Structure 1
């Protein structure tokens, strides 16, 4: 579907879809030689997910962080979004009842207590919102720590040395472009290392991990110990690697 068709289908502006593309939140499956954005069925599924999270009060930055997380699961997200929407509906229903009672109170038909005047009007966090943030935020870090904890001291030491060697190599390449052959070779080494020791990382998951390097202060702080700005540099290089990998695959 072309961008105008998607905009009309969903009821949002073409400008909004362009913005989502510009910030890397929703990238069209294809861009024609004449510059037309073409959206696939998978793009539409992702847009649905984005709009559900947006309706639930998540910022675009938070949504991008969540859907690009290596642990993100669409079915789990839909189940959680349903819980959050039910919670929201319940809160709105209570506020409607409070408004109806308030009108009757103004007309002198009933008397309301102070507590009744504010029934349903509270701004405490939806309990499922924190669950979403933890599910696709902290768990990425916790998962890695759990795998490391299962290894022997010698295994951890060997892994740590290889890990640091790759980071040190990348730090020495900071003066080069993220898409240079040397940088891309080092990033491939990092990609292969992760797949060898921490499960199967798809290109999308690898790209999402790179985004975490700049979105999550814990990653940024630890990576930048090897060189100032290394987290951002790696994130950009991982993004280039993902795009090139997609091209190589078809």
Structure 2
């Protein structure tokens, strides 16, 4: 038998915690000294280790108490239930992570946060996944559906998405200079290069995406981040200038 202080030295559990476990009848001591000091045996030490292990798995003290007190407790069911809880919590945290990425990228893209747009995207992702899949599957073939995964996602922090956001932010910054300006044409050139890197010569796919992008209704159905019509028209104008210049260069 060892004292509560010795338990603390062996396990790192504080005296206060040990007293609390006794108070809630989670881990009563094996006995007490004549002076009233708590004493613990190997059985209690083992139970304490079980308590700490179950805590790391996310079980509450009340749940642990019930698990340890029940004779023939079905550990499989208990652990499976906790795994289900952890899976749900993981999904919830991932959704929060995506939303935070979206807010940060929104600030880079527009210089501020449009909560309405973010909420709209969250609602689309949560409530209209089935409709979105139907719309996309009706618009794109099987090969093109795989290319969709490469499109920039505002709620992602992957390098390609971050570069697209940075390019869009620079484009909006220099829009007052006009579509033919050196700054805009450099940005459009890089956008075109990135399209080639991601989709190769699949111009039909790129055209489908752009047609959807230009339609607010179709963009919403596809779950695309909303971009105002003025910016889209400006991009189209700048692209046309860039591609015409490229064609003239090729023709000599």
TM over 0.5: no
Question: Looking at both structures, which has the greater relative contact order when contacts are Cα pairs under 8 Å and sequence separation is at least 6?
Answer: 1
**TM-score interval for Structure 1 and Structure 2 normalised by the shorter chain:** 0.3 to 0.5
Task: Give the TM-score, by structure 2 length.
Answer: 0.34
More helix by share: 2
Task: Give the TM-score, by structure 1 length.
Answer: 0.35
Q: Larger C-alpha radius of gyration, 1 or 2?
A: 2
